[in-house]
Amino acid sequence: MDFSDERPARLTVGVVGAGRVGAVLGAALARAGHHVVAVSGVSEESRERAAALLPDVPLVDPAEVVGRAELVVLAVPDDALADLVSGLAATDAWRPGQLVLHTSGRHGTEVFAPAAEAGILGMALHPAMTFTGTAMDLDRLVECCFGITAPEPLRPVAEALVIELGAEPVWISEEARPLYHAALAHGANHLVTLIAQAMQALRAAGVEAPDRMLGPLVGAALDNTLRAGDAALTGPVARGDAGTVAEHLRQLHSLTPDVRPTYLALARATAERALASGRLRPHAAEPLLEILGTDPRSDP
């Protein structure tokens, strides 16, 4: 296959896994002009999603998806990917020169090792976005970033596929994939927990529309942090208001058991980063860290 042209030819595409990511990426590739010829899905939700986003595309088993496609999209959970690749290799499903991409954030291209003898051309293309599994995701894909990892000769192909979707390719080395994925999960998945806990506390305080109250505050905090990093920090920890933080911890006892430990852990981390960056002065940090259960003499 000639990789000199960075714009891939129109490809027949098969999607293994019609979950939230797979069905949307299949639809996005179809919108970019590729021909989706087969999709697999086990659950009723997956089948309904495939019917909505990939109408008239046959639902078949994974081996048949691979058999029909020039480009195979493996959109399965991280922990299931290695077994899927090796299982398809054991049944001689792969073909020489077949383009195969997976959407796992954790894995790079080493996961394709069981299929190497078959001569597949493997790439990792992970969309750094949360998915609803609906058509609204197609527009959200535009301008999002994909973490890509591929053998150097395939890099132009991987980048071109991402650009065709209107997204931005960001190169991630093989050894950095787990850390890259941990960063995204920490920033996005844990944010869901944090905001849900904050809304729970506001409801307990009598606020009828916690989403309306939090929205502008969290939006501004996110925007400021993306622009300025730790310098965007405000609030009682940054000011060293130990008494206020102590009262917060007392009040959070009344909520579900997960909320107070989360606040405590994040307040400790916030204090340590504020101290290290100079935003929190040592004399103010000592009583605060004592309340938070952190040794103020430790190296921040």
pLDDT at 5 > cutoff 80: no
pLDDT at 300 > cutoff 60: no
With contact defined as beta carbons under 8 Å apart, do 103 and 73 qualify?
yes
Half-sphere exposure of 58 (CA within 13 A, CB side): 13
pLDDT for the residue 297: 35
CATH code, domain carrying 285 = 1.10.1040
| Over residues 271-294, mean pLDDT | 90
Q: What is the pLDDT of residues 9-35, one digit of tens each?
A: 689 999 999 999 999 999 999 999 999
Q: What is the pTM of this model?
A: 0.88
Q: What is the pLDDT of residues 115-166, one digit of tens each?
A: 999 999 999 999 999 999 999 999 999 989 999 999 999 999 999 999 999 9
pLDDT for the residue 42: 87
Could you give the C-alpha distances from 207 to 200, 210, 257, 259, 265, in angstroms and in order? 10, 6, 21, 17, 25
With contact defined as beta carbons under 8 Å apart, do 197 and 262 qualify?
yes
pLDDT for the residue 185: 96
Domain span holding position 43: 12-172
**Neighbouring residues of 188: CB distance < 8 A, sequence distance ≥ 6:** 130
| Over residues 176-195, mean pLDDT | 97
C-alpha span between 47 and 54 (Å, rounded): 10
CATH code, domain carrying 59 = 3.40.50.720
Residue pointed to by tokens 């929190």: 280
pLDDT for the residue 230: 94
Half-sphere exposure of 13 (CA within 13 A, CB side): 29
pLDDT for the residue 1: 46
Task: Indicate if 124 and 196 belong to the same structural domain.
Answer: no
| 95 domain residue, yes or no | yes
| Residue where a domain terminates, one of 172, 196, 227 | 172
Average pLDDT along the chain: 93
Residue at 263: amino acid letter: Y
| Over residues 286-293, mean pLDDT | 92
| 2 domain residue, yes or no | no
Task: Indicate if 191 and 238 belong to the same structural domain.
Answer: yes
Q: Token pair for residue 193?
A: 């927990």
Residue 7's pLDDT band, with cuts at 50, 70 and 90, is low
Residue 4's pLDDT band, with cuts at 50, 70 and 90, is very low
pLDDT for the residue 295: 42
pLDDT for the residue 143: 84
Q: What is the pLDDT of residues 53-86, one digit of tens each?
A: 999 999 999 999 999 999 999 999 999 999 999 9
Task: Indicate if 52 and 94 belong to the same structural domain.
Answer: yes
C-alpha span between 170 and 180 (Å, rounded): 11
**Neighbouring residues of 160: CB distance < 8 A, sequence distance ≥ 6:** 6, 7, 8
pLDDT for the residue 18: 94
Share of the chain above pLDDT 70, in %: 95
Helix and strand numbers, DSSP H then E, in the chain: 13, 7
| 298 domain residue, yes or no | no
